[in-house]
Amino acid sequence: MRRRSLIGLLSVGAAGLVAYARSASASRIRAFPNRASRENRHEGTEAWRVAGNVSDTARQIQGYASATSVNAGESLDFHVTVAEPQPFTVTVYRLGHYRGAGARLMHTSEELAGRPQPVPVPDPATGLIDCGWPPAWTFQVPGDWTSGLFLAVFESRDGFRSSTPFVVRNDGRRSDLLVVIPFTTYAAYNMWPADGHTGKNLYRGYRPDGSVGGQPERAFQVSLNRPFAGPGSPSWFKLDVAAVQWAEATGYDVSYASSIDLHQGRVDPGRHRALVFPGHDEYWSGAMRDVVENAVRTKTHCAFLAANNIYWNVRVEADPRGVAGRVVTCYKDDPDPAPDAVGPTERWRSLGNDRERAEARLLGVQYNGILHEPVPLVVRKAGHWFWAGTGLRDGAEIHGLVAVEADGRYRALPTGYESKQVLLSRSPYLDRMGRGEKIQNTSLCQTPDGTIMFCAGTFHWPLALVESKFTDVRIQRATRNLFDRMVRR
């Protein structure tokens, strides 16, 4: 088995680690044709990985897509800047397993005329940085492309490379699993341009001396009309890539959408057995949450494979040119000048009466802290079907699996729907913010009709599914147990 790095940290291999899953994959219980499995039989390539040779100061080549997703057969614009006028190309890759290579080369543009584009001045009231650059290339996505997570790689003639992700949808078909990529959270963390004086996100911005400030310097609005900082990989993108590659390697029938699609009503839970939220998915509009609440009511399972989900309420708004779904607004602890029917853009747990909109009311658990360092996940309820075939016992420890941020159960916050909750882990950790010992819980809630709401409750869960320093075949098996159960209904 060859070892490969995935965006600096994560390997894209795992063929050997998930080979056992192929013989017992979801194919025997699948209801619809599996286009993703057929797609992954194509030859892969490792050329999709982008080295960090681009900076937000020099801006050798950077770009963004005009939308977070596009239906197969429709077109997508790419907006690109270069440091010096010169030709460049755009190469499009579909991410998946592809026998361990991690992606397939789908299309390469002709040489395009590259021109420098300006860095906008942040809006003085909201901090919004919206590029509004003209399209540099319009790409007509072939109608026969399989839905997936894609990467557009920009390469200048002088050898600099950067990228931006997007989703291709297949709106006309059903699938067992719909994987929703968290672009609203990507936007919230994007600091572009991280140049020492201009960039802002929903957490911080630059002080006059060039140091990174906090709440006084941050933005209240962030735009998707700008590159992702550096070489173009969004914050915690590796979690989403890991989950995508594992699901496709294991043989599930998968299709894809973005969180903007969730917001704009393009996701019908009834067309899928389960909705899968693969990574860090913190920023949610009321419309996004409504879809998931409807999914639980209409017997569509949900799985959240990381932690700190549905934490901030946001508005998803139009950009300055009137294009819907391109601006994420969140005032957090500052006064929101224009709350909508959901309420001000603050923590979900602060909305409603008696914390009725707290994230645990939907998820079963919610964010409870930031870890000082990774700790073991301590197994609980080892006799549950979730842990079947793993060989684990109560109290067994899975090294380093609980990390970055964690979720836990709040006894005073039962789900807002009838369900039976099983806590599959009970992992003590020290909170980095000095709030003492906390407990992480992996949670599975099941309604009387069998609908499952699963929350892993830790950032490292997706990394355990693929070849990485956190790989664990027991987590792979448990996750397969979960997905197989969801696919069976």
pLDDT digits (tens, 9 = 90+) for 391-425: 999 999 999 999 999 999 999 999 999 999 999 99
The answer to whether the peptide bond before residue 208 is cis (omega within 30 degrees of 0) is: no
383-406 burial, b if ≥16 CB within 10 A, otherwise e? eeebbeebebeeebebebbbbbbb
Q: Tokens standing for 1?
A: 């088995």
Q: Residue 195's pLDDT is what?
A: 96
Q: How confident is the model at residue 96 (pLDDT cuts 50, 70, 90)?
A: very high
Q: How confident is the model at residue 52 (pLDDT cuts 50, 70, 90)?
A: confident
pLDDT at 436: 87
Percent of the chain with pLDDT over 70: 93
Q: Hey, where are the domains in the chain?
A: 15-306+312-346+459-487
Q: What is the pLDDT of residues 189-217, one digit of tens each?
A: 999 999 999 999 999 999 999 999 999 99
Task: Tell me the average pLDDT across 356-379.
Answer: 97
- Rounded Cα gap, residues 78 and 76, in angstroms: 7
